[in-house]
Structure 1
Amino acid sequence: MPNAQCACGALRLMLSGSPQLTALCHCLACQRRTGAPFSANAFYSIDCVEVSGTSTEFIRTGESGGKVRMHFCPTCGSTVYWKADVSPPWIGVAVGSFADPVFAPPAISVFEQSKHTWVQLDKTVKHFQALPIGQY
């Protein structure tokens, strides 16, 4: 299993399982968090993730209305993982923190209501205008 880490390596995640879901998110908060037109996310069962190092937590209200607790490295600023109130058994991990070009491709694309018009996705990705609560 690949492990995830911040840019400087001070905050790391050791994963003992495969992602339960991989997704792209086009919400405005993810665009601002990543500095990109969307975020690439892998979701793991919380009990197969071991966190090593110190993180700073930033809590925001997601577009779904629930709280999202973002954890980033206080040294380099990389957001490595988050926990969302709407899905307590999962931990979200930034796919870029794996630095693995063959990481599992996204299965779904959410919050396409704010997707940049020039972003084109593979036809195998399921598309949702908002968050598909209860489907994943």
Structure 2
Amino acid sequence: MSTRFASCSCGQLSAQVSGDPVRVSICHCLACQRRSGGPFAQQARYPRENVRISGNSSAWFRAGDEGGGATFHFCPQCGATVYYEPASLREFITIPVGAFADPGFPAPTVSVYEERMHGWVVPPAGAEHFA
């Protein structure tokens, strides 16, 4: 079983995950663009029991565009988001792929909110697409 480590920029807040993610996706919604600072956000979803969090976090809840929402946990020192908890999926923890700093991380298989996707972005071939 594989183990991966994700952390904030300063290293104070981290997550250790075991096993493969159950879903790797990219989201083009405007909230994810603002949160990530990029044209989309990429995240990996893991069963809660496969994630171990270390360090202190500050939390912020954001309501979703279509209901639900998520509680985002970020480092109070450097501000980087290390994980979030989707309100409608309590059994999972989601981690921004960039927090792993791993160029070999699996490609996304799902692309959502594509109606807000930047014109030059091309999701991976074979990914499921949702407007």
Equivalents in 2 of 1:110, 1:86: separation in Å?
17
Say how many residue pairs are matched. Answer: 129
Q: What TM-score do you get using the length of structure 2 for normalisation?
A: 0.95
Residue 67 (structure 1) shift = 2.5
Q: Kindly provide the CA deviation profile for residues 65-116 of structure 1, in whole angstroms up to 9, marking residues without a partner as x.
A: 1131000000000011101112111111010000000001100001112111
Cross-structure match for 2:20: 18
Cross-structure match for 1:101: 103
Aligned pairs for 1:37-116 within 5 A = 37-116=39-118
Equivalents in 2 of 1:92, 1:64: separation in Å?
18
1:24 match: secondary structure = strand
> After the TM superposition, which parts of structure 1 deviate over 2 Å for at least 4 consecutive aligned residues?
none
Q: Kindly provide the CA deviation profile for residues 40-84 of structure 1, in whole angstroms up to 9, marking residues without a partner as x.
A: 100000111111000000111011211310000000000111011
> RMSD between aligned alpha carbons?
0.9
Q: What TM-score do you get using the length of structure 1 for normalisation?
A: 0.92
Residue 126 (structure 1) shift = 1.1
Structure with the larger strand share: 2
- 1:45 maps to amino acid: P
Cross-structure match for 1:133: none
Structure 1 unaligned regions, length at least 5: 130-136
